[in-house]
Each structure stands twice: as C-alpha cells, then as structure tokens.
A and B are shown apart, each in its own frame.
Chain A
Amino acid sequence: MPTIDVDLGELKKLLGVAYRGDVEKLDSDLAFVKGEVKLYNRQEGIASIEIKDTNRPDLWSVEGLARALRGYLGIEKGLKEYIVGEAVVDVSVDSRLRTIRPFMGCAVVKNVALSDTVIRGLMHLQDKLDQTYGRNRQKTSIGLYDYSLIVPPLSYKVVKPEAVRFVPLGFSDSLSLAEILEQHPKGIEYGSIVKRHEVYPIIMDSQNKVLSFPPIINSNDLGRVTAETRDVLVEVTGTVHETVLNTLKLVTLALVDRGGRVFAATMQYESDGLRVVTPDFRSRLMELHVDYTNKILGLRLSAKQIAELLLTAGFGVESVSVESVGVLVPCYRVDVMHPVDLVEDVAVAYGYNNIKPVWRELPTTGCVKPEQRLLDVARELLVGLGYQEVLTYNLTNPETLFDRMNCERTRVVEVANPKVVTMTCLRNWLLPSLMEFLSSNQSVEFPQRIFELGKVTLLDESKETKTRDEDWLAAVTSHSAAGFTEIKSALDAFFMNFGVDWQIRETAHPSFIEGRVGAVVVNDEEVGVVGEVYPGVLEAWKLENPAATFEINLEKIIKNKQAKLG
C-alpha cells in the first residue's frame, strides 16, 4: 500500500480546508478515498497518509487527494474538466524500441507556479508512480524537464551503450550509458531493466542534446526542474501503452492543478506509422443500470439519487433515465474497469454506515473439517498426560531440521526468497521445533513436558502443488530422569485411549540412542518413532537434561481409523 507525505498547507491551498490542528477530521474525511493518517509531523504540518487502494494512483499526490475529496466535502461536485492545448512537440519513436521499451507519452505544461514545496510533492508523486504503478520503472518511468532549454522535435531511439555521453543528474562529468550503469546510483539500482539488451533507449532533442536515458536517469542540464522553471516538459516511457498514457495524465494533471496550461505532443511510431497525441484528458462514458446498482447494494435508489451520488464521487453525469445513468468517468480514474467499480463509489458516497446491515437466514449447516474432532481428542489426551501444548513456526532451516538432529540432509520444501536465514524451508518433522523450544527454556523449572500437533510439509509429485501437508503429533519429556520407559508409557496410554492398536519395532535413528528407539507401527505400517534422544543431539541443542520423545503421523492414524469405521 502506498504511503504519501502530504503537506497540509498545500492541501489547504488546493482544497480550502484547514486540517492543521484537526488531523482526526482529516482521517475521517480520508475514509472516502480509503486513506488513513499513519503519522503526523505536527511541527512541519506533514501527514503520512496510507492509501489502501493500490489501483488509485490518482490519489498519490496532494493535488490528486484534493481533486478526489472536493466532491465528498461538498466543495465542488461533478466532473472536473481538463483541456489540452494544441500539439507543440513532435516525438519520433524508433521501431527498434519495440522489444525494449516501446511506448512513450509526452506533454508540455506552461506557466506553472512551482515552489520548493510543490516540487518536493511532484518528486514524491513521480517516485510513487515509478515504484508502484510503474513496477519499479519496469513498466513505466517518468522524466520532467525545463522546456525552455529543449529544442523540439524530440527523438526517442536506441543507441549503443558506448555511443553517447552526457552528464547524468547529480553528476558533473559526462558518462557513456554503459558507465552510467556502472557508476551512477540510479544506474546501479535500475540497470537490470536494460542491461540484457544490446542497445539502450535514449531521448534526444533536435540539437542532439540528451534529455534522458530512460528508465535510468535524466540529463543534468535539461532534466532539472527548479522553483524558477515556468514551462515543464513531461515524458513517460514504458512497456505497456495504457499505463504509459495513464501515468502521463496523472503527472500532467498535478501540474495543471498548480495553474499550468497543458499542450499536447505527437508520438510518431516508426514501426507502424501510428500517430498518438498525448495526453488525452477525455472522460469515458459508462452506463450504470439502476437495477444492477440496487441489486448489489440492497438499496432502492432511483436513477436520480444514483446520479447525485456519482457527482459527489467526482463523476460526470451525461444522462439520467429511469433504468440507467450515463456516467462520465474522469480520465484520471484509471481504476474503473467495470460498472461494479461505480457501484462501490455510489455506496461510499451514500455512506456505508447509513446502510442497514441484515443477517440473512440461509439453510446452511456448519461443520468442522472431518478430522477436527479426533485432532482435538488427541490434544486433550496429551494435556491429560501432563504435557503443555506449544505452537511453533512451520518455517525453519536445514540446520535445525537435520544438522542439530544428527541427521543427513534430505530434500525439503525450500523457499527461493528467504527473508532471514532461520526461515528458509518448511519443516518435514516436528521434533526439531520442540528441541528448539526446550533449548530456549533451560532456565525454566523441570520436568518439562511439551507437545505440538502441527503441520509438516512433504514433497509429493502426485499432487497439484507437488507437496502435501500432514497433521503430525510430537511430544517430549525432559528432566533429570527422563527416559524411554516414561515416553513409551505415555505413547501407550495415548494409543489405548485413542482406540488404536500399536506395536513397537526395533529400528535405528540417528537422533536417538541405539537400542532405545523403536518404530511405531500401526496396521503393519510405520507411522512414527519413539525413543530416547541421542546425547549428541541434546548437546547440539545445549540441553542439560535427558529427553525422550515420540512423533507420529496422526493424519495417517486418523485416516486408518476413519476407514475402519467406514
């Protein structure tokens, strides 16, 4: 979820509402746009606002927030019209970009009133759009320039990594594109996007001055916007045409809301001769049916009421009939994909808390999963035997699962992107988790008897997910006199009460003392192990008391039992 820093002074300028000193009011107003104040810097009057809707990039600037809130606050309802002036820049787009970064959008905004605060806000918006909507510049990236320094037409083309040199933003020397990827912080950060290509994208003006090496870095000469800049050129490049155009609209609109006037640019795609004029601020017409709306909301709204609510939500209304409303969706509402999106905005404008909840009686019968009863019985038996139930993580690591247990490593479900070294795979047995638990409780009173009924994850080629989860049960007793007899007795009591006949079969297991370990056998099938823990394992876990344990595949035992009962 994007979090944006909003200068409340700027919000007041744009919206006319003073929230400084009443952040609670701001928080409650933000509910309309699914926003929440996360932090408030009282001194500087800056609120960190989290926008839950990841699909509303139009809200990621103070300008956009003001634009969205004005209807809900009753300041100005309905569609806000934005006009684009004639095309002032031509851009040719090289066909060789098709497999690299094929699309571009461009606009010029003249007579913008910029200040350091406004520029900070713009950079913040650019950053959020690049990161989230532009997927870390993979999908789109934005460049802003001082238009007065640029001589159109522009060309968006490809060059060899060493062919062109320019001074990247923040540097004083000119570097080749290859050098930028090696030396400039942004080159290091985003280089992987272009590196696999033999040629790199570049934007130049008619004087062969470099504007930008997208999506990496702008020129230090042209790509620097300051409070003195009056006319701004906005450029967006990317891999998805619609996203490129949307991004361009969002950045340009923020500048227009600051008093600028927009002029278009013409993209001339060499590959197919297509000409695209950007930006396009036209709204879309969508039809919203009254029945459909009421069916979803459970309300009895008329077309007129729906239209009124849509105006509050900042939509335009083109027509109202008995059955439907012709809705004008503003160009910046890129989230609207389906009439259901309009229905939600109708509900938000109506107020969720004005809708009366109803509990619908349905003829459904509740039930737990089939094995749940027996799982609960198993837990109760262990509790009755004096064992404390514990809950541990399924995520663990091979050192815990194998090395410390004196076992050979085998294949388990490993994650490709672990966050910490202690959580790199899913466990395939429970005992290591219990040993780990004991090892963090060496100063706690003995005897210690603990158990866990938990999931283990095993590889299984036959399954859709190539794995299966099973419910296993493990118990450990640890104290100065803990031993095989005690744990066997506990296991025997468990099986007897669980109604399962079991045998013990001699076996060897590296985690247990030789001759003090047995395989647990039910229906001629091995379903677990019981024994006294090998001192080397105790040592590996820094345990000073002997420990005896059993671990059984409870899922299999329950399935056998249920099969027997038919």
Chain B
Amino acid sequence: MVELRAHEQKILSALEKFGGTATVEDLIAECGFPDAAVMRVALTLKEKDLVKIYAEQQTQLRLTSEGEHHAKNGLPERRLIKAVAALGGAANLNQAAEKAGLEPQFKQIALGWAIRKKWAIYDSATNTVRIADPRLHQVVIPEENDEALLTFLSARQQTTLEDLTPELQSAVETLKKRKLLTVEPKTKRKLEITHAGLHAATRRAAAAEITQLTPEHIITGKWRKVNLQKYNIQAPVAKTWPGKKHPYLSFLEEVRMKLVQLGFKEMTGTSVETAFFNFDALYTPQDHPAREPSDIYYVKSPAYGDISKYKTAVEHVKETHENGWKTGSTGWHSTYAIREAERLILRGHGTCLSARTLLSKDLEVPSRYFSIARVYRPEVIDKTHLSEFNQVEGIVVDEHLTLRDLLGVLEKFAREIAGADKVRFKPDYFPFTEPSVELSAYKEGYGWIEFGGSGIFRPEVTLPLGVQVPVIAWGLGVDRLFMMRAGIDDIRYIFSQDLDWLRRKQVA
C-alpha cells in the first residue's frame, strides 16, 4: 500500500480533475504550489509509478517592451495610414505624423513599413504621403497577420509557437526581425496519472495528512479525519544532556552509605586545621619531614590558631613528644614548641578529625567513626597526583580491640566497599600507629590494588588525648577504586573540567 504525503495527494487529485493529464502550469494554477514544489512532488510520484511525466520541446514567444507598446497603440504604420486617410488620402508626412500622435522615433519606421506593405506612396520632393490604392482611403485597410499576432500575444503571458494558427505563425518571423518579440526554446512537462495513481487518488481523497499533532486536532476530534504522517524512525535525532550527579561524588555517596550500614558515624571538620591536630596529637614530631613546606600548606594569614581550650591535652602531648610522659615511651627527645602546634595549615589528611573525636568529651566507647574529608598537599598536579583530594578514613574504639579486629575491619571494607574476592596484608608505617597494616584487595578483572592503610593508634597518641582503650585507625584508597570502576587512568578526571566527559559518563 502506497502512503501519500499531503502534496502528493493534492497533485493526484488535481490530475484526476483535469481528466488524467495536465501540464505543470495547469497544476501550479490548480494547487497553488510554486513551480519547483510541483516538479519535486511530480518526481516523487513518478518514482512511485503513480504518474508519468512527458516532456515536449516548445518554442516560447514573448513580446518585447516595444512590442507591448505597439500591441497597445497599434503598429506605427497603421497609425500613420489612419491619419493620412483622415487628412483626405494625401498629406504632408510631418502633418500626418502629428495627426497620428507618432513618437518621433517611430516616424521613419511608420513611413518605411507603410511603403513596404504597399499601403502608401511617398513623394520625397514634396514630403507627401499618399494612400496607394485610391479606393482604400474610403475603407479600412484590413488587419494583417502581424497585427493579429501582436494582439494575440499581448493577451497571454506565455505562448508557444506550437499554439499558434498557421496564419499567426507566418507573422512570427516578421515581428522577430522588428524586435517586437523574442523566441526561446522551452521544455514543457505534462503529467499523466497512471492506473495506480488513480487508485491512490481515490482511496485517500478524503483525508489530509499532517506532521504535528496539535491540541486543536485532539480537542476538536479532527485527528480522526487526518492522517498522521509516518516518520523515518531510523533518522538521527539531536542529543539530550540530562542533569546528572557527578560520578565521583555519587561514588563517595555509595561509600558513605556502606560505612553507615557497617555502623560508622560521620565526623566533619574544616579545611584549615591547627598543626596540633594534624601532627602533634598524632605523634608526628615537630621537625618531621611531613611538616616541611614542601609537604604541607601553611596558612599565610592568619598564621596561628587557638588551641588554648585544649590546654591539658596540649601539655600532655608536649611531654609525650619530649620524654614520653606517662605513655611508657621514650618520646622523640626533641624540643616541643606550643607556638608551632598553633600553626594553621590546610589539613594534609583526615586523621586530624579522628584526633579531635578522641579528644572530644562526646567520645563513646564502643564507637565507630568515619569522615570524608577534602585534604591538601603541595603537589604539582599530574596523572597520578592532585594537590587536593578526598580521604575516607576513621576509627574504631573499643576496650578489647586487637590486631585481629583491625584485620577484620580491613577485610570487611575490602569485601563490602571494593567488592574484593581476596585480601592481603603487609606491614606498613605511620608515625601514629603501631602495628600498622597495608591492605591489598584482589578483584577479578582489576587485579590487586592497594586499598587502605591502617593501624592501632600508638599509646603516645591515645593517652595524651585521654583515651585509655585501643583505637583502630584506618584510611581507604577510594580514589584508586573509583578510577578502576570508571575506567580512567588519570586521577585528574576526578576534578574533570571536561563537560563532555561528564555528560557522556554512564551512571549505571
């Protein structure tokens, strides 16, 4: 079954009305489409074998502007001879021309053709024009073919040579020579409806076709009478970019929910931290390389914070650094300056939050805490380094915790968060934990990845903060996990400035 578009339908109906055959001109007049549109539709219909197109070579005639002028006023020789007749059959040329109202440029032309057509005789000595046949001045000289053609053409826009009677055709050459008309070849097309076309025209004659269904169609019920155009559903469409969450932040949300499910409570803090919580409380000596300006950002102004409300803890930390205080340790044997502990820095790890929690009077035993903290390091950003990133870490506090519990926590994280199949532990080092453990997780398809560092806080950390029970401290390498999941090997994508990447990143 052939489907027809609205234009096609209209042309077929028009052809039917014309009795099956019509010229393009006829169809333009009937349908009101522009020329090009009719031809375009005609070609489509031809492809569907609904019409046949015939072409004829024709000669098109068109009056020039002078031709138009004479068609309106009469040929100059006719006007001259009329004036001579009115003046009694013979007259001075100038008088006759004046009488005829001839434009000066046509005076000689009028005389020439009057003589050529043997209507008049001219005496140059006296400049007199005389009607050739003395009988004629009484009667009207009959219209000749050239004049008839002029009249005929002026009544029509376009005429072809083939449309003319043989009499009129004989005058074409004369008028062409007189530059009163032009002659151009032209292809004339005719459409003839085929049997199939006739069938299609009748079948769909009643229904119009529309592209966009409108509220009007629906409200008025008009949709029942229209045909909804079928679309090429394979055609490509414009891209839509929905609003989406950032893939990395969605991933962190997932991690956060897992930790909550495992019984961990979220801790928060600020980007700017005192050296006391970032280092001193974590038993990092005041001359430790991690405190060099190459490893930690110092705040320019204000340069110092206020730790006066932690006076006791600060004193205990100071003594622990210097001589071990009551912790059973030798301490660092280094001098400890409280001023140095007040230095403001951009926190270099999330462990400062754990130190704050341990010192807080709200610390519960047993308890589990976690934080997702933005941390800062003076690194030059490249494929594997960021100067700020997020750390997921926390603590477990309970009276009976042992290294086995620490390994248990790590194993749980590896399985629950990284979806690991196997885990492996290695000795690790942090100034604030002993023993310290590195966690590697194995996942099919990813291989082994380092997924965490952890340990049991040293007594030099917990005791000065007033905590008498063991505390497990852990941190997770979530960025590596995210990169593996997201299939990226450049850590800069976490803070990607590439909108196109974010738009195309799949969320499922």
Q: Which of B260, B366, B503 contacts A363 (CB 8 A)?
A: B366
How many residues of A are counted as interface, with CB atoms below 8 angstroms from the partner's CB atoms? 92
Q: How far is the CA of A365 from the CA of B398 in the complex (A)?
A: 14
Contact A426 B435 (CB under 8 A): no
Residue A227 at the chain B interface, CB threshold 8 Å? no
- What number of A-B contacts does a CB cutoff of 8 Å give? 277
One of B13-21, B50-58, B130-138, B420-428 at the interface = B420-428
The answer to whether B289 touches A54, judged by C-beta atoms less than 8 angstroms apart, is yes
CB pair A365–B265 under 8 Å, yes or no, is: yes
User: Within 8 Å CB of A34, what residues of B?
Assistant: 426-429
Interface membership of B94, Cβ < 8 A: no
Partner of A352, one of B333, B400, B426, B460: B426
Chain A 482-497 per-residue mask, 1 if CB under 8 angstroms from chain B, else 0: 0000000000000000
Q: What mask results when residues 424 to 445 of chain B are scored 1 for a CB within 8 Å of chain A, else 0?
A: 1111110100111100000000
Knowing A415-B298, A469-B270, say if A362 contacts B368 (CB, 8 Å). yes
Q: Do residues B262 and A466 form an inter-chain contact, with CB atoms below 8 A?
A: no
Please tell me if the beta carbons of B260 and A464 are within 8 angstroms of each other in the complex: no
Q: Are B429 and A338 in contact (CB under 8 A)?
A: no
Contact digits for B471-508, partner A, Cβ 8 Å, 1 yes 0 no: 00000000000000000000000111111101100000
Chain A residues within 8 Å of B293, by CB: 416-417
Q: Which of A10-18, A106-114, A228-236, A368-376 contacts B (4 or more CB under 8 A)?
A: A368-376
Interface residues of A in 343-363 (CB under 8 A from B): 343-344, 347-348, 352-353, 355-360, 362-363
Is A170's CB within 8 Å of the partner chain B?
A: no
B376 contact set on A, CB distance < 8 A = 394-395
Residues on A with C-beta less than 8 A from B301 are: 411, 414
- Note all chain B residues with C-beta closer than 8 A to A464: 274, 305-307, 309
- Is A271's CB within 8 Å of the partner chain B? no
Contact present for B434 and A340 (CB under 8 Å): yes
Q: Is the CB–CB distance between B366 and A440 below 8 Å?
A: no
Interface size of B in residues (CB-CB distance below 8 Å): 106
Minimum CB–CB distance from A69 to chain B (whole Å) comes to 13
User: B403 in the interface, Cβ–Cβ < 8 Å?
Assistant: yes
Q: Contact: A388 with B500, CB < 8 Å? A: no
Q: Which of A340, A383, A444 contacts B500 (CB 8 A)?
A: A444
Tell whether B73 is near chain A: CB-to-CB under 8 Å.
Answer: no
Contact A297 B503 (CB under 8 A): no
Contact A457 to B272, CB < 8 A, known contacts A366-B263, A415-B300: yes
Is B460 touching A338 in the complex (CB atoms < 8 A)? yes
**Residue B331 interfacial (CB < 8 Å):** yes
When C-beta atoms are compared, the residue in chain A nearest to B335 turns out to be A240
Q: Is the CB of A388 within 8 A of B499?
A: yes
Q: How far is the CA of A53 from the CA of B307 in the complex (A)?
A: 30
Stretch at the interface among B103-111, B119-127, B187-195, B240-248: B240-248
Which residues of chain B have C-beta atoms less than 8 A from A414's C-beta?
299-301
Residue in A355, A383, A445, A465 whose CB lies within 8 Å of B272: A465
CB distance from A178 to the nearest CB of B (A): 27
Question: Interface readout for A7-50 with B: 1 if CB under 8 Å, 0 if not?
Answer: 00000000000000000000000011110000000000000000
A360 to B374 Cα, complex, angstroms: 29
Does B144 sit at the interface, judged by CB under 8 A?
A: no
CA distance A459 to B239 in the complex (A): 44
* Alpha-carbon distance A395/B297, docked complex (angstroms): 11
Given A379-B245, A391-B494, A415-B297, residue A338 in contact with residue B329 (CB < 8 A): yes
Binary contact readout A435-454 vs B (1 if CB under 8 angstroms, 0 otherwise): 01100110011001110000
CB distance from B153 to the nearest CB of A (A): 55
Structural contact, A31 and B426, CB atoms closer than 8 A: yes
Query: A242 contacts B300, CB within 8 Å?
Result: no
Residue pair A413, B499 in contact (C-beta under 8 Å): no
Q: Which of A364, A379, A391, A437 contacts B367 (CB 8 A)?
A: A364
A391, B327: Cβ atoms closer than 8 Å:
no
Establish whether residues B403 and A296, one from each chain, have CB atoms under 8 Å apart when the complex forms: yes
Within the complex, the shortest CB–CB distance from B292 to chain A, in Å, comes to 8
Contact A358 B265 (CB under 8 A): no
B47 at the A/B interface (Cβ < 8 Å)?
no
Measured CB to CB, the closest approach of chain A to B338, in angstroms, equals 14
Contact between A440 and B411 (Cβ–Cβ < 8 Å)? no
Residue B360 CB within 8 A of the other chain: no
> By the criterion CB–CB under 8 Å, are B366 and A420 in contact?
no
Residue from the list A357, A411, A413, A417 in contact with B407, Cβ < 8 A: A357
CA distance A418 to B298 in the complex (A): 9
- In the assembly, what is the distance between CA of A348 and CA of B427, in Å? 7
Residues on the A chain within 8 Å of B407, using CB: 352, 355-358
Is A339 in contact with chain B by the CB < 8 A criterion? yes
Q: Are A416 and B243 CB-contacts (below 8 A) given A296-B456, A296-B470, A359-B409?
A: no
Please give, as numbers and ranges, the residues of chain B lying within 8 Å of A339 by CB-CB distance: 328
B306 surroundings in chain A (CB, below 8 A): 464, 466
Does B404 reach chain A (CB closer than 8 Å)?
Answer: yes
When the two chains form their complex, are residues A298 and B380 in contact, meaning their CB atoms are under 8 A apart?
A: no
B402 touching A364, Cβ below 8 Å: no
* Residues of B380-430 whose CB lies within 8 A of A: 380-381, 387-388, 396, 398, 400-405, 407-412, 423-429
Q: Judge whether A362 and B396 touch: CB under 8 Å.
A: yes
Taking CB atoms and an 8 Å cut-off, the chain B residues in 36-79 that contact chain A are none
**Contact: A389 with B244, CB < 8 Å?**
yes
- For residue B378, CB closer than 8 A to chain A, the reply is yes
Contact of A359 among B307, B411, B429 (CB under 8 A): B411
* Contact A135-B289, Cβ < 8 Å, known A426-B271, A457-B272: yes
Contact partner of B398 (CB less than 8 A), chosen from A54, A362, A436, is A362
Beta-carbon nearest neighbor of A382 in chain B = B243
CB pair B408–A357 under 8 Å, yes or no, is: yes
* Docked complex: A441-481 residues within 8 A CB-CB of B: 441, 444-445, 448-450, 455, 457, 459, 463-469
Interface centre among B301, B309, B437, B460 (most CB of A within 10 A): B301
In the complex, the answer to whether A360 meets B497 with C-beta atoms within 8 Å is: no
Contact A419 to B408, CB < 8 A, known contacts A297-B402, A444-B500, A469-B271: no
Q: Evaluate contact between A360 and B263: CB separation under 8 angstroms.
A: no
Q: Is the CB of B305 within 8 A of A465?
A: yes
Residues facing B in A131-161 (CB within 8 A) are 132, 135, 138-139
Which residue of B is nearest A468, CB measured?
Answer: B270
The reply to whether B499 and A457 contact each other, CB–CB distance below 8 Å, is no
Kindly list chain B residues whose C-beta atoms are within 8 Å of the C-beta of A297: 402-404, 435
The answer to whether residues A394 and B299 also contact, given A362-B398, A426-B346 and a CB cut-off of 8 A, is no
B271, A440: Cβ atoms closer than 8 Å: no
The reply to whether A457 and B270 contact each other, CB–CB distance below 8 Å, is yes
Contacting pair B405 A298 (CB below 8 A) = yes
Contacts A338-B459, A391-B495 given: A386-B242 contact, CB under 8 Å? yes
Nearest-neighbor residue (CB-CB) of B239 within chain A:
A445
The answer, yes or no, to whether B458 is at the interface (CB within 8 Å) is yes
The residue that B368 contacts in the complex, of A53, A364, A388, with Cβ under 8 A, is A364
Q: How far is the CB of B461 from chain A (nearest CB, A)?
A: 11
**Please, which residue of chain A has its CB at the minimum distance from the CB of B347?**
A465
Q: Counting CB contacts under 8 A, is A171 at the interface? A: no
User: A388 is contacted by which of B239, B241, B364, B458 (Cβ under 8 Å)?
Assistant: B241
Distance between Cα atoms of A372 and B320 in the complex (Å): 37
Q: Which residue of A lies closest to B305 (CB)?
A: A465
CB-defined A-B contacts under 8 Å, sample of 13: A34-B428, A296-B402, A360-B401, A362-B366, A362-B367, A364-B263, A367-B265, A369-B266, A413-B271, A415-B346, A420-B381, A457-B272, A469-B271
Nearest first, the 10 closest Cβ-Cβ pairs linking A and B are A298-B402, A298-B404, A357-B407, A366-B260, A344-B435, A352-B425, A338-B329, A417-B293, A53-B429, A416-B300
A contact residues vs B (CB 8 Å cutoff): 31-34, 52-55, 132, 135, 138-139, 240, 242, 295-299, 337-341, 343-344, 347-348, 352-353, 355-360, 362-369, 372, 376, 379-380, 382-395, 411, 413-420, 423, 426, 436-437, 440-441, 444-445, 448-450, 455, 457, 459, 463-469
- Beyond A298-B405, A465-B274, 15 additional contacts (C-beta under 8 Å) are A34-B426, A54-B429, A340-B435, A362-B263, A362-B367, A376-B253, A382-B243, A384-B243, A388-B502, A393-B387, A414-B300, A418-B297, A463-B270, A464-B306, A467-B272
